[in-house]
Structure 1
Amino acid sequence: MTKPREIEADGQKIPFLSYCVAGVKVAFLLAVFRVLAGPFIKDIFGEELLPMPTWEWLVCSVTPVILIWLARRPADWATLSDERMFLRIALAFYLLYALAFALLQGEWMLWLGVATSLVGLSGIRYLNHRGGHA
């Protein structure tokens, strides 16, 4: 249990978490695009064709939490040392958006996004302290 998890593809061993990190980054880029697409489309066409995100925001905010859960082993968490700042940024972005629009629009689904983001940020903090990293 001291080695990071790996999968074998085409005879080469590839770290399992590298695929997960790529998935989190793609979800984050799609979330940023989704937030910016609504106002952009409204400016271009003069009407709201794409409402602001609700349930899909919850899906996006769950992706870093899943990665954190998969990397809870010390060896796996150590392999994510370069990605931790990105995870914090993504979770803070999800948290701020979800909190602002849950308060302003009254969407109950966004409260789940707030809770998920807080769980993810708490998980990062817990795993950093458990591993001896500040």
Structure 2
Amino acid sequence: MTATRDTEGTGHAVPWLPYGLAGVKIVFILAVFRLLSTPFSEEMFGEQWLPMPTWDWALASATPTLLVLLARRPADWTALSGELTFLRIALTFYLVYGLAFAALQGEAVLWTSVLAGLVGLVAIHLLNHKEPAHDS
């Protein structure tokens, strides 16, 4: 989990993957809390404090996809391999919610979360089946 990348060309390695993964987990927890807060407030207090998620859901669904696309180097992908189950769960959750509400309630912006979920899941599948490069 300590894969590093020299992003500035200075020769010093910058650890970025643990921070990116922590960010994805925090965003996922906040997105689930945000999703559940609307029916909770309506049930407990008789009024809806927040509308159902739309653009914020689309933004949250892009975070695991960005992490997967940024960690496509073999060293980064190897370090991320222990967290693939969590990433699949998050991407599937974003995909299912986005698809249900985009199709049933006509929220066009949620098609972005559907696209992000599909891209992320396809990227995970392709990167898992990619053979490592061998130097001859």
Gap runs ≥5 in structure 2? 7-12
* Equivalent position of 2:106 in the other structure: 106
* Equivalent position of 1:78 in the other structure: 78
* Equivalent position of 1:33 in the other structure: 33
* Equivalent position of 2:9 in the other structure: none
* Equivalent position of 2:87 in the other structure: 87
Per-residue deviation, 1:15: 3.3
Paired positions, count: 125
Distance, in Å, in 2 between the alignment partners of 1:105 and 1:60 is: 19
Gap runs ≥5 in structure 1? 8-12
Structure 1 length-normalised TM: 0.87
| Alignment map for 1:1-134 (pairs within 5 Å) | 4-6=3-5, 15-131=15-131
C-alpha contact (below 8 Å) 1:94/1:117 kept by paired residues: yes
Distance, in Å, in 2 between the alignment partners of 1:76 and 1:6 is: 9
* Letter aligned with residue 89 of structure 2: I
Distance, in Å, in 2 between the alignment partners of 1:35 and 1:123 is: 26
Moved over 3 A (4+): none
3-state SS in 1 of match to 2:81: coil
C-alpha contact (below 8 Å) 1:74/1:131 kept by paired residues: no
Per-residue deviation, 1:104: 1.3
* Letter aligned with residue 38 of structure 1: T
Per-residue deviation, 1:122: 0.5
Per-residue deviation, 1:6: 4.8
C-alpha contact (below 8 Å) 1:28/1:60 kept by paired residues: yes
Per-residue deviation, 1:14: 6.8
